[in-house]
Structure 1
Amino acid sequence: MELINLSFEILAFLFVIAIVAGFLDTLAGGGGLLTLPALMMSGMPPLAALATNKLQSTAGVATATVMMLRNKRVRWRDVKYLMLAAFIGSALGTLIVQIMNTEALTIVIPIVIAAIGIYFLVTPVIDDNTKKPRVSPNVYKYVVTPTIGCYDGLFGPGTGSFFALAGRSLRAQPFLQATAVAKTLNFSTNLASLIVFIFAGHVVWLVGIIMMAGQFIGAWLGSHCLFKIPVKYLRYLVVVMCFAMLAKYLTS
């Protein structure tokens, strides 16, 4: 799918947004809170915005995932089955969104963005001294991971943050480990959703490729900063992004 009448200024704006989103997504998750509203504000229909968002965000999380695996922040054997579960959940969610009323998405998406921001704002910070996991590995693998994956297929913004929080609160992972694992799972969900959207013909390729370049730059920078920034500052990046983009979205 291609759209016309996208000016150079709009394309440049989306490129810059992708750089910032790739950087922040690698650090704290929630990059889709920037890119999805930006795509919709550019005039795209909801399904085209969702599909193109998956194309460009896949570049960012793929870059982050390669960096995490290469630097041994995560091990392939520890995440491969979780990635498969996330992939399946995301594919199902993306199939479901194809039959939804697209007009409803223009209402649902800002509600979801607001809910994510409020959730991160009011929930207590979970430190790295969480004593023990709250769910078993099988429940996490077969229920929690595909459920979050399904959400990513349906909407997407905040998925990386949800994976990170689930790893910390439900599996007692340290913050940085949970964040690193979340990148691999988010890559899997994005890839699954992207494949479905490509076959459905909703991707706007020109915009997606331009934003992929921005995502690559942002994710590369973020991967080098992730383990250098104090943990306490990362959580609140998501809250700031949520409410800033919600305000922009509602006033556009």
Structure 2
Amino acid sequence: MEFEIYAYAIVIVAAFFGGFVDAIAGGGGLITVPALLAVGIPPHVALATNKLQGSFGTFAAMINFYKKGMIDFKKIGVGILFTFIGACIGTVLILYLDAEILRIIIPFCLIAIFVYTLFAKKIGEEDRAARMSSKLFYVLFGLGLGFYDGFFGPGAGSFWTFALVALLGLNMKKAVANTKALNFTSNFVSLCVFIVGGQILWVVGILMGLAQIAGAWVGSNLVVKKEVKFIRIMFLCVVGATIVKLVYDYFGLHFKDIF
């Protein structure tokens, strides 16, 4: 596909802001996917290209957090392994199963996370005692959220951040940092599937990926410097936006079928 210069400008700017937001609270796809669709890219190609450019940003944020000492790969190694396994299963099953049930359930789960985070105002301000063993946590949530991200995807970063805060007792800064490593794992699996499927626009994806790196670098540095309150507000904004998008997509799809 060939594009005008303005189309490249739109998706590159969107990728920068997507990488910026994603590094802080996840949900960068809420910016980049609509931008790709807006310039006339078919939905399946847009999703594939988004995985490519998004992987650049997630990887850049992960490396920056690691260099700042906010990720201990030894502690989350089990999580990375089982996230990889879960994402493989989910990505394969999406070829055979209908994701419709997830379109109904996930918005309600995100609403619960939003309400809990909104009213539990001290959540994530500092480290707390874990409510379950880290190994069991990473096995269960690695498989579960890895599967979910490979099978469906929207809100996966929000689920990881919330689970790390609520169940492992991490403060929100550490939770966001570790989420990037776990998210990159499942993104990489999905990306490999899309590469095999030949659905990626490589020039667009790489240009956006470079902008993602810049945005992710700025965003991840803000996470290190800013107070937890700022990250919490960004988290709530992203979760809220994801809820609105999923509800809109669900009802928009069904109204289209009716009329």
1:161 paired residue number = 158
**Percent of aligned pairs sharing the same letter:** 35
Shift of 1:60: 0.6
How much does 1:115 deviate?
A: 5.2
Q: Which consecutive unaligned segments of at least 5 residues does structure 2 have?
A: 253-259
2:161 counterpart of 1:172: no
For 2:50, the equivalent position in structure 1 comes to 53
The partner residue of 1:122 within 95, 115, 121 is 115
Greater mean alpha carbon deviation, residues 151-160 or residues 8-17: 151-160
- SS of the residue 1:98 aligns to: coil
- The match for 1:83 is 80
Distance 2:230 2:9 in 1: 29
Does structure 1 residue 150 correspond to structure 2 residue 143? Answer: no
Displacement of 1:33 after TM fit? Answer: 2.1
Q: 1:75–1:117: structure 2 CA closer, same or farther, 3 Å change rule?
A: closer
Q: Which residue of 1 aligns with 2:256?
A: none
| Runs of at least 5 residues in structure 1 that lack an aligned partner in the other structure | none
My pick for the range that moved more, 121-130 or 84-93, is 121-130
How do 1:58-73 and structure 2 match up within 5 A?
58-73=55-70
What residue is the counterpart of 2:132 in the other structure?
135
Cα deviation, 1:64-95, whole Å, max 9, x if unaligned, reads 11112222212221122211111121222222
The whole-number CA distance in structure 2 between the counterparts of 1:153 and 1:36 is 17
- What corresponds to 2:4 in structure 1? 7
Contact 1:30 1:238 in 2 (8 A): no
Amino acid at match of 1:96: L
Asked if structure 2 preserves the Cα contact closer than 8 Å seen for 1:28 and 1:161, the reply is yes
Partner residue, 1:243: 241
User: Deviation per CA, 1:201-244, whole angstroms, max 9, x where unpaired?
Assistant: 22221221121011011011112211212211223324434539
How far apart in 2 are the matches of 1:82 and 1:199? 25
Select which of 33, 37, 40 maps to 1:40: 37
Give 1:196 deviation, angstroms.
1.5
**Residues 99 and 48 of structure 1: CA distance in aligned 2, closer, same or farther (over 3 Å):** farther
| 8 Å CA contact 1:176, 1:227 repeated in 2 | yes
**How many equivalent residue pairs?**
243
User: TM-score under structure 2 normalisation?
Assistant: 0.81
Opposite residue 94 of structure 1, the aligned amino acid is T
The aligned residue for residue 229 of structure 1 is 226
- What is the root-mean-square deviation in Å for CA atoms of aligned residues? 2.9
Query: 1:112 offset after TM fit, Å?
Result: 8.1
Quote the Cα distance in structure 2 between the aligned partners of 1:13 and 1:115: 32
Distance 1:243 1:115, change over 3 A: farther
Conserved? CA contact 2:87–2:190, under 8 Å: yes
Instruction: Tell me the secondary structure at the aligned position of residue 6 of structure 2.
Output: helix
The alpha-carbon deviation at position 165 of structure 1 amounts to 1.0
Contact (CA 8 Å) 1:36, 1:157: kept in 2 or not? Answer: no
TM-score where L is the length of structure 1: 0.83
> How far apart, in 2, do the equivalents of 1:31 and 1:22 lie?
6
Letter in 2 for 1:232: K
